[in-house]
Amino acid sequence: MSIVETQEHQDLRAAVAALGRRHGRGFDRDTLWSEAGKLGYLGVNLPEEYGGGGGGLAELSIVLEELGAAGCPLLLMVVSPAICGTVIARFGTEEQKREWLPGLADGSRTMAFGITEPDAGSNSHRITTTARKADDSDGGGWILNGRKVFVSGVDITDATLIVGRTEDARTGSLKPCLFIVPRDAQGFHRSQIDMELQAVEKQFELVLDDVRLPADALVGDEDAGLLQLFAGLNPERVMTAAFALGMGRHALDKAVDYAKTRQVWKQPIGAHQAIAHPLAQAYIEIELARLMMRKAAHLYDAGDDAGAGEAANMAKYAAGEACVRAVDQAVHTLGGNGLTREYGLASLITASRVARIAPVSREMILNYVSHQSLGLPKSY
């Protein structure tokens, strides 16, 4: 992996940045989503034969980062083209690919992703949403029951990729499987979670009450287990890093502009090291996190799932920490103005915490690195 971006990547970054500047803060989500889709940015990671750009996570992460840096991030990119599009492209049937990928690529169709449960949290082995095969006499297919929480954008997506568990006929143990559940499926209920964080994409709790699905709702091999699940979770971590980096850059840019012009005594406040040095430190941390994100995307696109797993976790951790510190320093640089609606930074104080918490907490990432990278014993 070259640490210098290719000309193609630089051109993509510049083009998306220009799109972001045209929309800016206070953007209309539907308009931007539609335009980004028509320009090919939403599906840049999906196969060309299904309407995508033929690239990978390296390209898709650039798109999300640059839109975030312009103040108009599209959170659903983390889910629809990155998780769901990747999983279907890698493991879906030919019929599933033809049905879903062109729409996911141009933005005309979208998917949510449901894995977290009220009593499972970070422990995916405790997922209780179950899927059982229906008798042929009862129409066949699958019947899903369970609950999910913190599922983004269910109300504006066409379907949700649900992580359930099926029983292994040989061992009797439960194994994770992925199912496409249409938004209007009977027995598929949603209720909005009242979040302090204000975002275009709302959060929902889902209840699956005897949701009946056809046999072809199953994505991939019933016996593949964790392989298919982590094919979606690693892109989620990389894209969360891109989301965080974009937010951090947006906050830092505002702070730098303010520090160049705001005068309290006889010179701009940015001339004082107490202001300049923390901003420089925030910039360095963002750049370092971006390097790890690019490494993770490169490894994933190269097919190194194991290497990508470690790098994606590290990238998500580093970007989350860099984002929180950049936002905090930006608000502090502006002082009272940093808390006004005019400058738009105060809302990022809450939003930046998302990168530390979701889709996996920084503590669980530290667990992963201590166990998988350092070989230390588990405490659980």
> Tens digits of per-residue pLDDT, 215-225?
999 998 877 66
How would residue 169 be classed by pLDDT, with cut points 50, 70 and 90?
low
How would residue 352 be classed by pLDDT, with cut points 50, 70 and 90?
very high
**pLDDT recorded at residue 137:** 67
d(CA 175, CA 169): 11
Superfamily holding 226-373: Butyryl-CoA Dehydrogenase, subunit A, domain 3 (1.20.140.10)
How would residue 175 be classed by pLDDT, with cut points 50, 70 and 90?
confident
Please choose, from the candidates 283, 223, 258, 238, the residue with its C-alpha nearest in 3D space to the C-alpha of residue 345.
258
d(CA 103, CA 42): 10
d(CA 29, CA 15): 18
Q: Does the predicted TM-score (pTM) go above 0.85?
A: yes
Find the mean pLDDT for residues 349-371: 95
How would residue 135 be classed by pLDDT, with cut points 50, 70 and 90?
confident
71: left (phi over 0), alpha (psi -120 to 50) or beta: left
**pLDDT recorded at residue 170:** 56
7-109 to CATH, choices 3.90.650.10, 1.20.1560.10, 3.30.2130.10, 1.10.540.10: 1.10.540.10
**Pair of tokens at residue 249:** 């850059």
Give the sign of the dihedral formed by CA 58, CA 29, CA 330, CA 349: negative
Backbone phi, psi, residue 93, to 5°: -70, 165
How would residue 327 be classed by pLDDT, with cut points 50, 70 and 90?
very high
**pLDDT recorded at residue 344:** 94
The answer, yes or no, to whether the previous bond of 359 is cis (omega within 30 of 0) is: yes
**pLDDT recorded at residue 314:** 98
**pLDDT recorded at residue 42:** 98
Please choose, from the candidates 164, 240, 160, 140, the residue with its C-alpha nearest in 3D space to the C-alpha of residue 204.
160
The per-residue pLDDT for range 5-23, each reduced to its tens digit, is: 999 999 999 999 999 999 9
**pLDDT recorded at residue 231:** 82
Dihedral of CA atoms 109, 45, 75, 160 in degrees, nearest 10, equals 40
Residue type, 97: K
* Strand 188-192, strand 203-213: pairing: antiparallel
Return the domain boundaries, the chain. 7-109, 112-219, 226-373
**pLDDT recorded at residue 205:** 97
The CATH fold of domain 112-219: Butyryl-CoA Dehydrogenase, subunit A; domain 2 (2.40.110)
Dihedral of CA atoms 154, 160, 163, 167 in degrees, nearest 10, equals 130
